[in-house]
Structure 1
């Protein structure tokens, strides 16, 4: 499966590019991220904790930047292992397009696949959790690079209390849908937004 989203960042294209390649900024913006360390040319070792429905795990993974066209685009190839929780792997293409001196349009298209317990809880619940993580990442990223979260929020962002309540309700509904989904919960499932964590 595939996830495509566009966000407007309140900074210049060069500033956005620099931030996307700054491991300290990324570590601060990725929910649950414990560390991002260089691991070869254009590669990074990542450690993070994540919860997807009833599955909570600490993931250790690696991401590799390819097809780099600074300051406009790159592709991220990623994989992570969460022990008994399962694994995730995939890739994402990220592009930046200037919209003036103080605005940049960021677009990404990500594809991913999960296995193990993550694949058994149902694609709707996985996708909902991934979108929530993506929304939180862009909220934090916008604040880090421009000090203005309004330009980088998704429809689920805004008042944290409202966003949390909405996310909980969504996850409850998705859990109910998953329980009635039968075979949908079996086997490997594509996952749409791991890249949002990176």
Structure 2
């Protein structure tokens, strides 16, 4: 499943970039992140709690920075997680790009997500709505954190 989200963040790209590339700090802006711990250079483990309708997912997994370009403010991430209680896995590649605009910076997030097991039974429209909601909240928090 392809996901795409664009938001305007109320801070300059350079400041937002420094937050995004500090994964533990950026993770605090993701609604539902319970923990993020380093595993090594550019690799982290963590937990994400997500409520979709009446179902609560607990996704435990890893995220890694695959590539980064500090000059153009572009990065690629890879995430793998599973919910052992409900039964299912999520694998994602995520591209993040920042560009200065008059009101701060534009943040574009493009992802390719593979969902397996019972988690996939929610359907693409439900997952798309939830991801849009989470990414909008993430962008707002990034702006506050970058200017704070």
TM-score by length of 1: 0.67
Shift of 1:55: 2.3
Instruction: Deviation per CA, 1:104-152: give whole Å up to 9, x if none.
Output: 22112111011222111222222222222222222222222236xxxxx
2:77 is matched with which residue?
76
* Greater displacement, 16-25 / 72-81: 16-25
| Higher share of residues assigned strand | 2
| Higher share of residues assigned helix | 1
Instruction: Deviation per CA, 1:26-56: give whole Å up to 9, x if none.
Output: 2321111111111122111111211123321
Q: Secondary structure at the match of 2:40?
A: coil
Q: Secondary structure at the match of 2:6?
A: strand
Q: Which runs of 5+ in 1 are unaligned?
A: 148-198
TM-score by length of 2: 0.87
User: Structure with the greater relative contact order (CA < 8 A, sep ≥ 6): 1 or 2?
Assistant: 2
Does the 8 A contact of 1:84 with 1:116 survive in 2?
A: no
Shift of 1:24: 4.3
Instruction: Kindly report structure 1 stretches of 4+ aligned residues shifted beyond 6 Å.
Output: none
2:8 is matched with which residue?
8
1:27 is matched with which residue?
27
Does the 8 A contact of 2:16 with 2:143 survive in 1?
A: no
Q: Which runs of 5+ in 2 are unaligned?
A: none
Larger Rg: 1
Q: How well do the aligned residues superpose, as a CA RMSD in angstroms? A: 1.9
Shift of 1:73: 0.8
Instruction: Deviation per CA, 1:155-197: give whole Å up to 9, x if none.
Output: xxxxxxxxxxxxxxxxxxxxxxxxxxxxxxxxxxxxxxxxxxx
Kindly report which structure 2 residues correspond to 1:32-181, keeping only aligned pairs within 5 A, or say none. 32-71=32-71, 72-85=73-86, 86-99=88-101, 103-146=104-147
Aligned residues: 146
Change (3 A) 1:70 1:28: same
Shift of 1:98: 2.3
